[in-house]
């Protein structure tokens, strides 16, 4: 089965089938006939031939910091679903939170004609990152970080945590915070600042020993909560940078005989599925990770079609959920 046979069966010209396969203009009636023939015959166009015709690989590189993350998987789901609608496939590069690997993948994907564009789930941006990005010959979109000068789709991390903290402070006297390292601008810096500003606006002085850091997992959250308990025994509220950290904090409170939320109230960020079934259910902020992935893919597709199009910067909305882990 080839393009000439598809055209003959559909009763259209070869050129019409070619435009259909390359997302060109085809009337609705002819589009339906071609689609029906392709579905009946199971025809799959040669990717190599398409690349020769339009110079496109229909491959997109997606660089992620880790693969075992609810938020990352939801963003990747959004990216891949939207790209698939337009006939694109994804080359997934997992950096395991290694900044040097991010730079290396940018270099590799920029070689030859491997991909039509790159989406990077950013964490940190060093001078080396900037230099690697400046060398890119293909459209580039940053997901989950605000990186000036490039198309970015990112979360409103600051306001999400500020609003959550304000909610918790209505019944708090001794709040604490578990965040992540500050080299992550969104999760490490903006969320922490949202907590501190909410406390300042409420006239509450946060003790330096009441602020801890953790990795992006519940075990680390448990240990960070344990350190806070040792230093601030009368802590009554722990605001956490992520849901996973909050799950660890809840486990820690239980093992130390603290009731949640009666003795210590706890919040997270992310609205992961577990947040709705853990006991007590976790007060958290919903960040639209899947939708963010869709928006990033749309931004990249737009740049692939029109490389000189102006960059977009989209701060996504959020929603705060007051559940049973708050008083």
Q: Where are the domains of the chain?
A: 3-54, 59-155+289-316, 157-286
**Residues sharing a CB contact under 8 Å with residue 137, sequence separation 6 or more, in sequence order:** 110
Q: What is the pLDDT of residues 33-59, one digit of tens each?
A: 988 888 888 877 655 444 444 456 789
Q: What is the predicted pLDDT for the residue at 48? A: 45
How far apart CA 78 and CA 48 sit, in angstroms, is 27
DSSP string, 171-239: T-SSEEEEE--TTSIIIIIIHHHHHHHHHHHTT-PPPGGGEEE--SSHHHHHHHHHHHHHH-TT--EEE
Q: What is the mean pLDDT of the chain?
A: 92
Burial of 108 (0-12, 13-18, 19+ CB in 10 A): middle
Within this chain, domains 3-54 and 157-286 share the same CATH topology: no
pLDDT confidence bin for 319, thresholds 50/70/90: very high
Query: For 78-95, what is the mean pLDDT?
Result: 94
- Domain 157-286: CATH architecture, name and number where available: 3-Layer(aba) Sandwich (3.40)
Q: Which of the two residues, 64 and 41, has the higher pLDDT score?
A: 64
Q: What is the predicted pLDDT for the residue at 62? A: 97
Q: What is the predicted pLDDT for the residue at 43? A: 77
Any idea which fold 3-54 has?
Answer: 434 Repressor (Amino-terminal Domain) (1.10.260)
How far apart CA 218 and CA 197 sit, in angstroms, is 26
Q: What class does CATH assign to 59-155+289-316?
A: alpha beta
**Range of weakest confidence among 112-126, 192-206, 215-229:** 112-126
How far apart CA 105 and CA 100 sit, in angstroms, is 9
Q: What is the pLDDT of residues 240-261, one digit of tens each?
A: 999 999 999 999 999 999 999 9
Q: What is the pLDDT of residues 138-191, one digit of tens each?
A: 999 999 999 888 999 999 999 999 999 999 999 999 999 999 988 888 999 999
Q: What is the pLDDT of residues 262-311, one digit of tens each?
A: 999 999 999 999 999 999 999 999 999 999 999 999 999 999 998 888 88
Residue 72: asked if its preceding bond is cis (omega within 30°), the reply is no
């Amino acid at each position: 089965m080839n393009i000439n046979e598809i055209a003959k069966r559909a009763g259209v010209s070869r050129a019409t089938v070619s435009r259909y396969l390359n997302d060109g203009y085809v009337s609705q009636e002819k589009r339906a006939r071609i689609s029906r023939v392709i579905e009946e015959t199971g025809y799959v166009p040669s990717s190599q031939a398409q690349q020769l015709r339009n110079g496109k690989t229909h491959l997109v590189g997606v660089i992620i910091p880790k693969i075992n993350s609810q938020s990352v998987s939801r963003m990747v789901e959004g990216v891949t679903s939207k790209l698939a609608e337009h006939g694109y496939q994804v080359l997934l590069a997992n950096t395991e939170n290694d900044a040097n690997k991010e730079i290396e993948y940018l270099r590799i994907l920029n070689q030859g004609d491997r991909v039509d564009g790159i989406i990077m789930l950013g964490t940190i941006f060093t001078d080396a990152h900037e230099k690697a990005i400046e060398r890119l010959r293909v459209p580039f979109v940053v997901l989950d970080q605000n990186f000036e000068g490039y198309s970015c789709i990112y979360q409103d991390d600051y306001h999400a945590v500020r609003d959550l903290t304000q909610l918790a402070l209505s019944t708090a006297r001794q709040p604490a915070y578990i965040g992540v390292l500050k080299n992550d601008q969104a999760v490490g810096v903006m969320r922490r600042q949202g907590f501190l500003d909410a406390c300042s606006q409420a006239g509450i002085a946060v003790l330096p020993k009441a602020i801890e850091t953790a990795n992006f997992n519940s075990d680390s959250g448990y240990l960070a909560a344990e350190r806070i308990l040792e230093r601030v025994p009368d802590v009554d509220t722990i605001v956490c940078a992520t849901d996973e950290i909050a799950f660890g904090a809840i486990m820690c409170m239980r093992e130390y005989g603290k009731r949640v939320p009666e003795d210590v109230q706890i919040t997270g960020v992310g609205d992961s599925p577990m947040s709705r079934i853990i006991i007590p259910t976790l007060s958290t902020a919903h960040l639209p990770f899947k939708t963010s992935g869709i928006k990033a893919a749309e931004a990249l597709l737009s740049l692939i079609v029109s490389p000189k199009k102006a960059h977009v910067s989209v701060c996504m909305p959020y929603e705060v959920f007051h559940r049973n882990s708050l008083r």
